Amino acid sequence: MTSDPFRLTVLGSATPYASVDNPCSGYLVSSGDTRVWVDAGSGTLAQLQRHVRLDELDAIWISHLHADHSADLLTAYYAALFADVQLAAPIPLYGPPGIVDRLAHFLTNTSTRSPVESAFAVHELHDGHQVHAGALTLTSRAVAHGIPAFAVRIEAGGRSLVYSGDTAPCLGLTQLAEGCDVLLCEAESAQVPAEGEQVHHTPEDTGDTAGAARAGRLIVTHVGRSLTPQQAVARASARFDGPVDYAAPGVTFSIGYVAGAARDALPRAYATEVVVHCQDNPAVRVRFCDRFRQDEDCVHYAVEACAPGLNARVDEVVAWIWDADLVRFLEELARDFQGWDGERVWQNNDRDLTLRAAFRSGGHVGLTWTLRPWPTAAGGWESSVTTWLEAGEQMSALAAELRHFLHEDRGDRG
């Protein structure tokens, strides 16, 4: 087994169009130095650059040619050929049959066909297609979406992640996902359509697919506009015994088993960082990262506060199990999305992290994060930034992300 972390980062999961804080479908899958961009929905190229440059990618893999999974290939082509990106060779691109002509039809402006092949080394997928990209092995299966569409099983060091792409429940997906550690499965539909062909999963379908495949863990993604992430997770959980998470944008999941785990230990997938962006100014942000657990009683992590001209960090903030819980504090704020008077305050036991919440008309909440290092360790400074969020859905999503970050092996479920 490799010790290189095998990771899934959610660049975006919205459908069928990007929302203010969530691009369409796109993921970065990495192990060691290997990085593959999986689906290039609109908005995901921007988020990809938080983690990797285009010329550092080992491959791009596209499930199907609907725009919410492939549109950013168009601007990635501009980046690759007409900007500051220096490709040593065209980026290997794996996608459905016809992908190169579809791109060329859009990109060609004159009588001369645009040189799509100079940006991308295109390989068409077929059922059972397999390729090694650095440390990752990608196996594709045809799935049921009404157009040529594929799911993929990505493996590294004996661990496995399966991504459904867009599809109705189908044998190809269930077989591909057999025994996988993590199934990342779409949940576009609130209901099975009364008539016509089914081309997506409902949340119940995702639970059934994960159960039939004996997946270790389910992450629901591509949640349609008629569902909330909370509803999708709750409905999937009712049909699947394992842990169920939501593919919140910006979250990174580690994929693999707990080292030295007991026979019945669950695979784990916890968020390795959480970033809170101010919706009024994305340059203002708070980042939770570098989490580790020393013993049963606490989780350690670092918090960074950034704003133009400010870069503050406290290391080893400690969440003791007897602390007032930050996640619960945020969940209560989300529940009271219609507002409250005055200020609500949360502080951890060591008082190096304080959060003040104030409600503003229009359904927004200002979260003021104050960092103050434990006096004996550093002392002498205190710094605050305020991130504005929507009171309902954004607050719930943040609570869920922090739950994944803080609680992965306490037996809690997000």
- In the complex with Zn ion, the residue whose CB is nearer, 25 or 252, is 25
Binding-site residue total for Zn ion (CB under 5 A)? 2
**Nearest distance from C-beta of residue 62 to Zn ion, angstroms:** 11
Report the residue number, 199 or 306, with the smaller CB distance to Zn ion: 199
Beta-strand relationship, 353-360 and 130-133: unpaired
- Selected range binding Zn ion among 62-70, 71-79, 115-123, 348-356, rule: CB under 5 A: 62-70
Q: Does 166 bind Zn ion (CB under 5 A)?
A: yes
Structure token digits, residue 31: 């192990």
**DSSP 3-state of 32:** coil
Query: Which residue's CB is nearer to Zn ion, number 166 or number 205?
Result: 166
Contact 346, 373 (CB under 8 A): no
CB of 221 to Zn ion, least distance (A): 12
For the CB of residue 109, give the shortest distance to Zn ion in the complex, in Å.
Answer: 27
| Residue of 7, 66, 201, 268 that binds Zn ion (CB under 5 A) | 66
At closest approach, how far in Å is the CB of 253 from Zn ion? Answer: 23
Q: Taking contact as CB under 5 A, which single stretch among the options 85-93, 160-168, 325-333, 359-367 is the one that binds Zn ion?
A: 160-168
Q: Residue 198 CB, nearest distance to Zn ion (Å)?
A: 13
Q: Which of 116, 29, 13, 107 is nearest to 69 (CA)?
A: 13
β strands within 13-106, DSSP E: 26-31, 34-40, 59-61, 91-95
Q: What is the DSSP letter of 16?
A: S
Asked if residues 224 and 193 have their Cβ atoms less than 8 Å apart, the reply is no
Nearer to Zn ion, 15 or 396 (CB): 15
The residue with tokens 């036991």 is 349
The CA distance from 159 to 28, in Å, is 16
Site string for Zn ion, 176-215 (x = CB under 5 A): ----------------------------------------
E-assigned strand segments in 296-391: 298-307, 310-320, 343-347, 353-360, 364-371, 383-390
What is the radius of gyration, based on Cα positions, of the chain?
22
Given the rule CB under 5 A, which residues bind Zn ion?
A: 66, 166
